Amino acid sequence: MVHRSTPHASVYRAYSGGGARSAIDSVDDSTLMQESTNSRGMKGETFFNHEAPQNYGFTSVVADARKSGNPGIIQQCAEGFVSFLGGNRSLPITAMMDDRRHRLLNLAKDAAKGATAMFGLKEWGQQFLNTEAGMFMTGNVEKLLKFQLVENQNGKQQQQQPGQKLARTFRSRSGVEFDIETFEIEPREGAGGGGTSNSDGSQGTSQPTGQKTLHKEESKTFLNMTKDRVETRRDNGYVHVEDKKITTHYKDDTQSTRCDDKHVHVRWKGSQVWVDAGGCWSSKPIKIKACSDAGGGTVPDQGPAAHSASAPLSIDSNANISMAANAPLKIAGATREVTEARHRAMQREEPMPFDNGYLFLDIDLTTLAVTPAGQLTVVGGAGGGISEAPSDGNHYARFNAAWSAVENMILDGGTF
């Protein structure tokens, strides 16, 4: 069958049934199907609030147009490609949008042919590239890069309103009214249909709601990256990595570790152990003890209390304390007989047994003595220029600033 058409009719059909390029003023992303709210077609032609479907699993919102003057002439904007269903120009559908202002250029040159990418406004400086060399998520140093796990708030059961009709009525410029069923129609009261089984296992009918973004939800498991720090959290455990320090803590910094260019420390409440250039330190005495992680429960002490020591004291790995001795202090290293003789001379009593390695005071017994009270004294208590008593085996006593043998002295009831 041959259809004849005048040039005027052919042009009209091409105009009505063909597509068009449009300038996107703005979009409404709050509706269940995104809409272009005010796009411009041919001269004098404006498309109001028409649907702009996107591929499942991917969505975007183009930036608003930049305008100047009044009533607001568009200077730069995103662009859409519009189709007219049924050849009716009053039923536009924007199939895709792009924006010359922010499109990622030269991907084939900078990455590879076959590469894919996700991006936002060029001012954000954030991209995700899938290239031949690998996958690259690039964030702006002035922004936050966050990976997190959150509770899914989507897909919750919504309370339905009986008899609600979930359809959109569209009236064209020509006056023709279209009922476009965008989702199921809820059953009216008394119309039945309740309790029906759906292919996904749910009962009855429900209203589509779409889903909301989840990045603002509270999270206890996440990785944050900024120009100043990398922070990892898992419930009550935190790890912070910065330029000059690394810290970890449980709940708060009273139970923490820290490593920086000055020292490394472990902290539990009021107790701290740390290491720096000066040595190992502790805010409280250290005890040798098995770790509770080995078997749980209360673990008894495994050794004596160990305290930090400074020279001349030191502590070995078995918690034994020792002392470096300098003259006149010495470590007993002679025979037992010599050691006991020295001990007897100093104490003026029978010696207590001891082994080599004990500390003793090396004294000249001709000039010093130890009193019964354990005090050192000068033999004879010489002073005032009086010489020492002779060492000839006799007993001497001082009389009139001179020494006299005891056997030559006359006792007169207490006065010498």
pLDDT digits (tens, 9 = 90+) for 5-25: 788 777 777 777 778 889 999
Q: Range with the lowest mean pLDDT among 118-127, 188-197, 360-369?
A: 188-197
Q: In the predicted model, what is the mean pLDDT of the chain?
A: 77
- Residues 290-298 have a mean pLDDT of 61
Whether residue 307 has pLDDT greater than 50: yes
Judge if the upstream peptide bond of residue 372 is cis by omega within 30 degrees of 0. no
pLDDT digits (tens, 9 = 90+) for 53-107: 999 999 999 999 998 877 778 899 999 999 888 787 888 999 899 999 999 999 9
What confidence score (pLDDT) does residue 202 get?
A: 64
Whether residue 352 has pLDDT greater than 50: no
Nearest-angstrom CA–CA distance, 116 and 107: 8
Say which residue, 337 or 253, is predicted with more confidence: 253
What confidence score (pLDDT) does residue 173 get?
A: 44
Coarse DSSP helix, strand, coil percentages of the chain, rounded to the nearest 5 percent: 10, 40, 55
Label residue 358 by pLDDT band (50, 70, 90): low
Whether residue 163 has pLDDT greater than 80: no
Q: Which amino acid is at 253?
A: D
Do residues 246 and 236 make contact, with C-beta atoms less than 8 angstroms apart? Answer: no
27 burial (CB, 10 Å; 0-12 / 13-18 / 19+) is buried
- Residues 238-263 have a mean pLDDT of 96
Q: Which amino acid is at 363?
A: I
- In the chain the first and final C-alpha atoms are separated, in Å, by 164
**pLDDT more than 90, % of the chain:** 35
Return the closest-CA partner of residue 265 out of 288, 249, 241, 287. Answer: 249
Nearest-angstrom CA–CA distance, 254 and 82: 62
Whether residue 244 has pLDDT greater than 70: yes
Question: Given this structure, which CATH class describes domain 228-277?
Answer: mainly beta
What confidence score (pLDDT) does residue 10 get?
A: 75
- Widest Cα–Cα separation across the chain: 170
What confidence score (pLDDT) does residue 29 get?
A: 92
Token pair belonging to 177: 């009214």
Label residue 351 by pLDDT band (50, 70, 90): very low
Whether residue 336 has pLDDT greater than 80: no
Q: Domain limits of the chain?
A: 7-101, 228-277, 285-324, 329-408
Say which residue, 284 or 384, is predicted with more confidence: 284
Q: Which amino acid is at 90?
A: S
What confidence score (pLDDT) does residue 41 get?
A: 84
- Residues 263-280 have a mean pLDDT of 93
What confidence score (pLDDT) does residue 210 get?
A: 77
Whether residue 230 has pLDDT greater than 80: yes
